[in-house]
Each structure stands twice: as structure tokens, then as C-alpha cells.
Structure 1
Amino acid sequence: MSGTFKSIRRRVWLILNTLVVLWMLLGVLCLQVPPSEFWPAGFVAFSLPGALVLNFLFLFYWVLRRSWLLVLPLSAFILAWNYYARLVTINFEKEIPDGAKTLQVMSFNTHVFNAYDKIVEGVPQVSTDMIDWVAEHPADVFCLQEFYSRVNSLEYNNFNRIGTRYGKYKFASTSVGDRIKADLGIVIFSKYPIVESGTLRFSNTRDRSANRAAWADIDVKGDTVRVYAVHLQSMSIKSEDIENTYSAIGDETSFKKESRNLARRLRGGFVSRAAQVQELLGHVQASPYPVIVCGDFNDIPFSYTYSELAEVLDNAHVRAGNGVGATYNGPLPFLRIDNQFYSAGLEAYNFETHYEMGLSDHFPISATYVLQPKDAEQR
């Protein structure tokens, strides 16, 4: 009787493990499907981390059982290794070669420096601590999304406080917004000269939309690197939307309403970003120089957006970071939606997520890039 029970239990666990592996395969396939053509693929891909974790737990279970059935989750683990690396990365520290030409890049969605979190008598209260942290960071290039500056204010003139005061070059892709005529948008600051620059406006956004890409060709001691600061379509999900969904659990009518609202917003984001990433890649692949593409992509590593970028570019966190690398400072933990990608001709070192700066709804990220000599780049 005991042997029969063990046999049934093993068969049940094997069936469940098989279903998880099939889930993994389906999730990987859905990463290749543009949500603009079949939007449910975006949700299946979004669920892939759950399948990866469950497969790992099955592997651990069969190892403890000393069963040959560990071959199934182990094979899936090996075949899906690149996707596990997107989930959690492990890298050993690399020494930057002596005499190497380097470029440190910091990317940060500043959340307009919290200008609209508190309004007293119509005057925005900006987080000066955040501004000072950015201004004093040792990076060579700063890619700032949701940038905010008030030209008519000495205290909140961030073009001056972050750029001019420190002798930085800048390219601003901003619009004038709000009643006090503040500049809002994307700004690239650089310690090295900017020789050319421009804005890529996505065809599915309005001209004044914050969702765009700014680029700058930067002269790094005689070599040119093109740096992109990107802000793709937001998920448009607020913390109260998530809290309302949690609180609605137990109330079937309310839960359906809130969950449908979340699903609708996610679907809209999947579809919009799928189109935007194709326009971005078209511009990136036409660059005559090595590129660094960084910013707020508003998509996790298990998305069509990320996969399309990872197909042609390396990811700095995967190559030089450690851990989960979560960048969203909000009610949903473990989300890495800010990234730095880079092309041949560069190598990433010392990737870091700056959890010490927690004043925005995003954490800043930085990496140091070594520019490879031209002859090495051509080999």
C-alpha cells in the first residue's frame, strides 16, 4: 500500500513538473510575439518568472528525493539558463584594465524631483536632497528621465544646479509645462563634449509626451559614443490601483472590476511599448558609433520590449551586476524596469543599483564602460 501511494505521488509531481516546463516553453515563445499583434502573449511572458522559480523548486525536490526524474527540471534549467540570468545575476568583480578609456553612465527617473508630491500655495516643493545627490554623483554622463527645472528659480534651476555649476555639457529634450513654466522631460548631461544630439519621438505618442528617447554623440577623449536616454510608455498603474485590488480580495464584484482595470492598463502598455521599441531599435542600429541605451523602459526582463533589445545589445546588469537588481521603488517588489544596454565596442564593469537614493519611485543605476580599441572592436 505504501509503495502504491509513493508511486501515485511521484506520478502527480511528475505531471505537475511537466506542466511547469510546458509553461516555461510557452512563456519563452510568447517573448517573441509582438503584443500589438497578439496582446495575451504579453501576459503569458509576464508570468514566466513564476514558471522559472517553480521549475527550480522541482529540481530541488527531485534532488532531495534522489530521483532520476531530476533530469526533467535540470534539462529545462540548462536550456533556460539565459532567462534565469535575467531573473537573478551573479558576476565576479572584474578589474578595469590599466590605461583603459572608460565612461561611467548613470541613469535615473527622477520623478520630477517630487515637485508635485506637495503643493503649498501653488508652489511645488522639490526634493533638494535628490538634486544634490544627482549633481554630486561621479558619473561622466547622466541620463535623467522625468527631469524638472525652473529657470526662474535659483533653488530649483536644475539645469544650473546639476549641469552648469559643474561645467557639464547638456542636451535637453523637454517641454514647458505647468503654470510656472517649468521644463519637463529628458536631459543628458556630460562631462565630455556633446558633438551632436537629437530627439526620437515615437509615432504613437503626442509631441509633448514625456515618452520619447533623447540621444547624444559624446566625444570621449577622441572616441565617439552615442548615448540614449529612453522613457518608454508608462504602465499607468498607481500604487492605489494595486492597493485597491488587494483590498478587493473577498469581494468578487469589486475584485473583478479592479483586476480588469489593472489588466487593461497592462495590455495598453504592452502594445504601446512593442511599437516604440521597434522605432528605437531602428534608430540604434543606424548609429555609426558604439551605443549605450539606458533609461526607464517600464517593462520587466520577461517582456517583448526587453527581449527585442537583448537580441541585439548586451545588458549591463546581466553582464556586470548582481542579484535581482530591482529598480522600481513602489508597492510591487522585485521589478527591474530601468536598464542599461550597450553594443559591441564597449564592455560593462561595476554595474550598481543605488538603493541609497530612495526619494524617487525609481532607483538610479550606473555602470562603467570600457571603450575597446578600434582594432579589438573589428576582430
Structure 2
Amino acid sequence: MSGTFKKIRRRVWLIINIVVVLWLLAGVYSLQVPPSEFWPAGFVAFSMPVPLVLNFFFLIYWALRRSWLVVLPFAVLILGWSYYARLIAINFEQEVPKGAKTLQVLSFNTHVFNAYDKISEGVPQVSDDMIEWVATHPADVFCLQEFYSRVNSIEHNNFNKIGTRYNKYKFASTDETDRIKANLGIVIFSKYPIVKGGTIHFSNTPVRTANRVAWADIDVEGDTVRIFAVHLQSMSIKAEDIENTYSAIGDEASFKKEGRNLARRLKRGFVARATQVQMLLDHVRASPYPVIVCGDFNDIPFSYTYNELAEELDNAFVEAGSGLGSTYNGILPFLRIDNQFYSEGLEAYNFETHYEMDLSDHFPVSATYVLKPKAREER
């Protein structure tokens, strides 16, 4: 009887293991499918961390059982290692080669420096600590999304506080969007001269959205690098949306309503970003210079958006980071939605997520790039 039970249990676990593998395969396939053409693919890809983790548990389970079936999850681990690398990076800190030409890039969604979280007498009050942290960071280039500044206010002119005060060059892609004429958008600051800049708008209508890409050509002591500062379509999911969904568990009608609302928001984001990333890649491919593409992508590493970028560019976290690298400072844990990608001609060192700066709903990320001499000679 005991032997029969063991056989049944083993068969059940094997079936579950096979289902996990099939789930993972479906996720890998879904990464190739634009959600703008088939939106359910976005949800399947989004779920990939679950089968990746489950497969690792099956590896441990079969190993402890000393079963030959350990071959199945082990094969998945080896063949799918590139996807595990997206989930967790294992790199040791490397010293930048002596004499190398370097460029340190900081990317940060500043959440308008929390201006609208601290309205006093109808006037937004920015976070001075956040502004000072950014202004004094040792990076060479600063790519700031959801940047906020009031040019007609000495107290709230963040162009001056971060840029002019420290003799930084700037390219701003901002709009005046509120009644007190505050500039909101994306700004690139640089210690090196900015030769040229532009904006990729995702909408052809007169009404511009905050989601866009700003780019700037940076002259790094005679070599040019094109920097793309990205802010793709937001997930539009607030903390209360998650809380409402959790609190609705047990109330079937309410749970369905909140669940559908959450799914609609995710779907809208998947579809929009699938189109936006193609517009971005068209400009990346057209660049005559090595590129760094960084910012708030609002998508996890298991998404069509990330996958399209990863097929053409290297990811700084994967190549030079460590740990989980979570960048979202909110109710949903372990989300890495801020990234830095880079092209041939560059090499990433010392990618860092700055958890010490926790005043925004995103954590800043930075990496140091070495400009390869071979690339410079070819140019």
C-alpha cells in the first residue's frame, strides 16, 4: 500500500512539473507576441516568474528525492538560464580598466519631486532632500523622468537647482501642464556638452502626454554617445487598486469587479507599450553613435517591451548588477521596471540600484559605461 501511494504521489508531482514546464514554454513564446496584436500574450508573459521559481523548487525536490527526474527541471534551468538572469543577477564588482574613457549614467523617475503630495496653500512643495540628492550625485549624465520645475519661481526652479548651479548642460522635453505654469516631462542633464537633442512623441495629437522619449547626443571628450531617456506608458495601477482587490477576496461580486478593473489597466499598458517600444527601437537603430537607453519602462523583464529591447541591446543590470534589482518603491514588491540598456561600443560596470533614495515611488539606478577603444577607432 505504501509503495502504491509513493507511485501515485510521484506521478502527481511529475504531472505538475510537466505543467510548469509547459507554462514556462508558453511564457517564452508569449514574449515574442506583440500584445497590440494579441493582448492575452501580455498576461502569460507577465506570469513567467511563477513557473521559473516553481521549476527551481522542483529541482530541489527531485534532487532531495534522489530521483532521475531531476533531469527535467535541471534541463529547464540550463536552457532557460537567460530568463533566470533577468530575474536575479549574479555579478561581482569589477574595477573599471585604468585609463578607460567612462560615462556614468543615473536614471530616476522623480515622481515630480513629490510636489503634488505636499501641496501647501494650493502651491506644490517639492522635496528638497530629493533634489539635493540628485544635484550632488557624481554621475556624468542624469536622465530624469517626471521632472518638475517652475521657471518663474526662484524657490522651485529645479532647472537651476540641479543644472545651472553645477554647470550642467541640459536638454528638456517638458510641457506646461498646470495652472501655475510648472514644466513637467523628461530632462537630461550632462557634465559633458550636449551636441543635439530631440523628443519622440508617442501621440500625433496636439495634446501631448507625459509618456515620451527624450534623446541627447553627448560629446564625451571627442566621442559621441546618444542617450535615450525613456518614460513608457504607465501601468496606471495605484496602491488602492491593489488594496481594493485584496480586500474584496471573499466577496465574489466585488472581487470580480476589482479584478476586471486591474486587468483592464494592465491590458491597456501592455498594448500601448508594445507600440511605443517599436517607435523607440526605430530611432535606436537609426543612431550613428553607440546608445544608452534608460528610464522608466513600466514593464517587468518578462514582457514584450523588455524582450524587444533585450534582443538588440545588452541590459546593464544583467551584465553588471546583482540581486533582484527591484526598482519600484510601492505596494508591489520585487518589480524591476527601471532599466538601462546599451549597444555595442560600450561595456557596463557597477550597476547599482540606489535604495538609500526612497523618497520617490521609484528607486534611482546608475551604471558606469566604458567606451571601447575599438569602437572609437572605427568611428
What range describes the TM-score normalised by the shorter chain of this pair?
A: over 0.9
Q: CA deviation at 1:250?
A: 0.7
Partner of 1:363: 363
Q: Deviations over 1:259-310 (max 9, x none)?
A: 0000000000000000000000000010000000000000000000000000
AA at the equivalent of 1:225: V
Partner of 1:51: 51
Q: Deviations over 1:246-266 (max 9, x none)?
A: 111111110000000000000
AA at the equivalent of 1:216: A
Partner of 2:118: 118
Contact 2:248 2:254 in 1 (8 A): yes
Please give the alpha-carbon distance, in whole angstroms, between the structure 2 residues aligned to 1:31 and 1:16. 23
Contact 1:116 1:124 in 2 (8 A): yes
Please give the alpha-carbon distance, in whole angstroms, between the structure 1 residues aligned to 2:153 and 2:270. 38
AA at the equivalent of 1:371: L
Please give the alpha-carbon distance, in whole angstroms, between the structure 2 residues aligned to 1:113 and 1:81. 38
CA RMSD of aligned residues (A): 1.3
Q: Deviations over 1:221-249 (max 9, x none)?
A: 11000001000000111111111111111
AA at the equivalent of 1:273: R
Q: CA deviation at 1:94?
A: 1.2
Partner of 1:33: 33
Please give the alpha-carbon distance, in whole angstroms, between the structure 2 residues aligned to 1:73 and 1:22. 12
| Gap runs ≥5 in structure 1 | none
Please give the alpha-carbon distance, in whole angstroms, between the structure 2 residues aligned to 1:209 and 1:39. 23
Contact 2:226 2:287 in 1 (8 A): yes
Residues 291-330 of structure 1: matches in 2 within 5 Å? 291-330=291-330
Change (3 A) 1:234 1:204: farther
Partner of 2:80: 80
AA at the equivalent of 2:129: D
Q: CA deviation at 1:203?
A: 3.6
Q: Deviations over 1:4-42 (max 9, x none)?
A: 111111111101000000000000000000000100000
Please give the alpha-carbon distance, in whole angstroms, between the structure 1 residues aligned to 2:227 and 2:120. 38
TM-score w.r.t. the length of structure 2 is: 0.98
Please give the alpha-carbon distance, in whole angstroms, between the structure 2 residues aligned to 1:101 and 1:95. 13
Q: Which structure 1 residue ranges, 4+ long, deviate > 6 Å from structure 2? A: none
SS at match of 1:299: coil
Contact 2:290 2:346 in 1 (8 A): yes
Q: CA deviation at 1:120?
A: 1.9
Residues 39-188 of structure 1: matches in 2 within 5 Å? 39-188=39-188
Contact 2:194 2:218 in 1 (8 A): yes
Please give the alpha-carbon distance, in whole angstroms, between the structure 1 residues aligned to 2:238 and 2:65. 44
AA at the equivalent of 1:6: K
AA at the equivalent of 1:288: P
Contact 1:344 1:377 in 2 (8 A): no
Q: CA deviation at 1:325?
A: 0.4
Please give the alpha-carbon distance, in whole angstroms, between the structure 2 residues aligned to 1:377 and 1:126. 45
Contact 1:147 1:185 in 2 (8 A): yes
Change (3 A) 1:283 1:376: closer
Please give the alpha-carbon distance, in whole angstroms, between the structure 2 residues aligned to 1:282 and 1:67. 49
Residues 263-302 of structure 1: matches in 2 within 5 Å? 263-302=263-302
Q: CA deviation at 1:47?
A: 0.3
Please give the alpha-carbon distance, in whole angstroms, between the structure 2 residues aligned to 1:314 and 1:145. 22
Q: CA deviation at 1:93?
A: 1.4
Q: Deviations over 1:310-354 (max 9, x none)?
A: 000000000000011000000000000000000000000000000
SS at match of 1:339: strand
Q: CA deviation at 1:152?
A: 2.0
Change (3 A) 1:181 1:43: same
Please give the alpha-carbon distance, in whole angstroms, between the structure 1 residues aligned to 2:250 and 2:307. 36
SS at match of 2:116: coil
AA at the equivalent of 1:97: P
Please give the alpha-carbon distance, in whole angstroms, between the structure 1 residues aligned to 2:218 and 2:142. 12
Please give the alpha-carbon distance, in whole angstroms, between the structure 1 residues aligned to 2:51 and 2:316. 24
AA at the equivalent of 1:326: S
AA at the equivalent of 2:157: N
Q: Deviations over 1:105-154 (max 9, x none)?
A: 00000000011012221111110100000000000000000000011222
Partner of 1:234: 234
The answer on 1:190 being equivalent to 2:190 is yes
Please give the alpha-carbon distance, in whole angstroms, between the structure 1 residues aligned to 2:375 and 2:180. 52
Please give the alpha-carbon distance, in whole angstroms, between the structure 2 residues aligned to 1:47 and 1:206. 37
Please give the alpha-carbon distance, in whole angstroms, between the structure 2 residues aligned to 1:211 and 1:284. 17
| Gap runs ≥5 in structure 2 | none
Change (3 A) 1:375 1:294: closer
Contact 1:345 1:377 in 2 (8 A): no
